[in-house]
Amino acid sequence: MNSSSRSNRQSQIAPSPTEMPAAAPLPNPAAPNNTLPPAQGAGQPAIQNQTQSSVTGGPPNSGTAVPPNAPPAKPPSHVTYQISHQTEYNYSEPVAVCQNQLRMQPVTGGNLECQDTKVTIDPDPNSWDEHRDYFGNLVTTFSIESIHTALRVVVKSRVTVAAPSISESDASTQWEEALDHGQGPLCPTVAEHRYHSPRILPSETFAAYARPSFTPGRRILEGALDLTRRIHQDFAYDVTATTVDTTTEEAFQLKAGVCQDFAHVEIACLRSIGLAARYVSGYLRTTPPPGKERLIGADESHAWVELYAGEKLGWLGLDPTNACMVSTDHIPICIGRDYGDVSPMRGVVLGGGTNTLKVSVDVEPQPIR
């Protein structure tokens, strides 16, 4: 169905509006022009597998020793996944009308290619629209205008994630090169991620935490990975510690939380020293590759960070929850400034009494054909 959604995210962002194909969704009006650094898609060039295997640990909070003993088996150059994300609401009272927005569908771009994505809604919606939001995410808006007592939304997608690679010369970029030096044309879709957003307020507190990782002249990859690893070490993964509304400052004080909090804290740290960082929502593979531990955050939506590492490297994916660079185990769905821009579903219902919610996510790698 969503043939239009399969166009390349990068091509959605890069060309000027006049170059848009007529059938495509509304062009992103804030698109950078071609002379500027490409705002690459959410899935990002990750570093070589050596780096990854050295940082991928077991569940951070498992208590028992979980040695990072995974053999550096060379990861596949690309993996195809079948994703199913099911959301079910049951209401105590009838709902007269509900209006909802979904941000659950992948779009082709960066190192991700979307072969197919399909939304099924029960009961049948009365009306249905799709559009691309400011960040290029695919948004489905629908309304159900007859009495109902349950709502079920199933999103099934098939995507291929390629393992990115970074050349040695690119990797030598110093972190200061990724700052805004106040000269030359400015790319709004990068620069806006240097400043505060509704849920992330950069401050000296975060900057002080970030500085030991970003010593003068340090390579940006090293610095970013070091910060990612430190957050993983210093923060406890604890689903009871925070809620969806916990502020980044609170999570930083608590030194605990879930992927959303970890990502918010890392973004706050990066922005506080002037770097551009954004929030990525997506999924992790559910079943680990042979010989590897299951990653935290599988079976549900996951979140991580992208750091703008300069023109050559573009956006780097960092997963502070799992202390690793993002590679073929991560499937990006949406990007934004923080969680508020990418929440998978938001809705307004009329009536409904109290509700119960069931969410399940299934991410299965497909055999190579």
Partner 1 sequence: MLQASSFWNAPTNPASDFDERVDATGKVRAHWAMMSSELESLGTPLLHTRSRAVNQFIRDNGVTFQPAEPGHQSSQGQMNRPWRLSVIPFLFEQNEWQVLREGLIERTRLLETVLNDLLGPQRLIRERIIPGQLLWSDPTYHRAYHELDPGAQKLHVSATDLARDIDGQWKVIGDRTRAPSGLGYLLENRVVTSRVMPTLIRRTNTHRLASFFETLNDHLRLQAKSKRENPRIALLTPPSGSYREFEDTYLARYLGLLLAQGSDLAVRGGELHMKTLGGLKPIQVLWRHISDRHCDPLELNPQSVEGVTGLLRCVRRQSVAVVNTVGSVLAQAPALMAYLGKASEFFFGKSLSLPSAETYWCGDANDLSFVLQRLDEFVFRDAYMVTNNRPIVTDELDAASRDAFLAKLKSTPELYVAQRRLQFSRTPLWSGESIESRKVALRCFQLTTPSGINILPGALARAGKDELDLSRSLVSGGMTLDCWITSNRPVDQHKTLLKDSKATISIRRGGADLPSRVAEHLFWLGRYAERAESAARLLRTTLLRISGEDNWETLSDVRRLVYALASGGQIEPSYAVDSFSVNLPTVEQILPASVLDRAQARGLCRTMDSILHNAASVRDRLSIDAYRIIQRAARDLNRPVILEATGQPGQVTINEAIDRTGRLIVDLLALAGLTSESVVRTHVWQFIELGRRIERAENICDLTTTMLCPATDSGKSICEAALEVSDCLMTYRSRYINLVQLAPVIDLLITDETNPRSLQFQIDRIASLMDKLPTTEGPTGSDAILRLVSSLQFRVTTADPTKLATIAKDGRLEHLQHLLEEVADDLPKLFNQINARYLIHTESTQQLTGTER
Binding site for partner 1 (CB under 8 A): 16-17, 26-33, 36, 87, 89, 96-102, 126-127, 129, 131-135, 141, 143, 145, 153, 182, 185-188, 191-192, 195-196, 239, 242-244, 258, 260, 301, 341, 343-352, 355, 357, 359
Pairing status of strand 330-336 against strand 138-144: unpaired
* Cα–Cα distance measured from residue 300 to residue 321, given in angstroms and rounded to the nearest whole number: 14
Q: Min. distance of Cβ 237 from partner 1 in angstroms? A: 13
* Cα–Cα distance measured from residue 358 to residue 87, given in angstroms and rounded to the nearest whole number: 6
Only one residue has tokens 């979140």, namely 303
- Looking at the Cβ atoms of 26 and 73, the one nearer to partner 1 is 26
270 in Cβ contact with 337 (< 8 Å): no
| Phi, psi angles (nearest 5°) of residue 46 | -100, 165
Count of C-beta atoms within a 10 Å radius of residue 42: 32
* Cα–Cα distance measured from residue 285 to residue 365, given in angstroms and rounded to the nearest whole number: 7
DSSP alpha helices (H): ranges in 107-247? 188-191, 204-210, 220-234
- Looking at the Cβ atoms of 89 and 315, the one nearer to partner 1 is 89
* Cα–Cα distance measured from residue 333 to residue 28, given in angstroms and rounded to the nearest whole number: 17
* Cα–Cα distance measured from residue 105 to residue 121, given in angstroms and rounded to the nearest whole number: 14
Query: Which residue type is seen at 290?
Result: P
The residues near 9 (Cβ < 8 Å, ≥ 6 apart) are: 41, 42, 107, 108, 109, 110, 112, 136
Q: Min. distance of Cβ 51 from partner 1 in angstroms? A: 31
Q: Min. distance of Cβ 95 from partner 1 in angstroms? A: 9
- Looking at the Cβ atoms of 138 and 221, the one nearer to partner 1 is 138
Q: Min. distance of Cβ 127 from partner 1 in angstroms? A: 4
Range 184-193 burial, b when 16+ CB lie within 10 A, else e: eeebebbeeb
DSSP at 219: B
Q: Min. distance of Cβ 286 from partner 1 in angstroms? A: 17
193 in Cβ contact with 309 (< 8 Å): no
Q: Min. distance of Cβ 282 from partner 1 in angstroms? A: 14
- Looking at the Cβ atoms of 223 and 282, the one nearer to partner 1 is 282
For 258-278, the DSSP string reads -HHHHHHHHHHHHHHTT--EE
- Looking at the Cβ atoms of 244 and 368, the one nearer to partner 1 is 244
- Looking at the Cβ atoms of 66 and 191, the one nearer to partner 1 is 191
- Looking at the Cβ atoms of 197 and 213, the one nearer to partner 1 is 197
Q: Min. distance of Cβ 133 from partner 1 in angstroms? A: 6
* Cα–Cα distance measured from residue 56 to residue 318, given in angstroms and rounded to the nearest whole number: 12
Listed residue (72, 96, 22, 40) closest to 280, CA to CA:
40
Q: Min. distance of Cβ 308 from partner 1 in angstroms? A: 14
Q: Min. distance of Cβ 178 from partner 1 in angstroms? A: 16
- Looking at the Cβ atoms of 177 and 180, the one nearer to partner 1 is 180
- Looking at the Cβ atoms of 84 and 160, the one nearer to partner 1 is 84
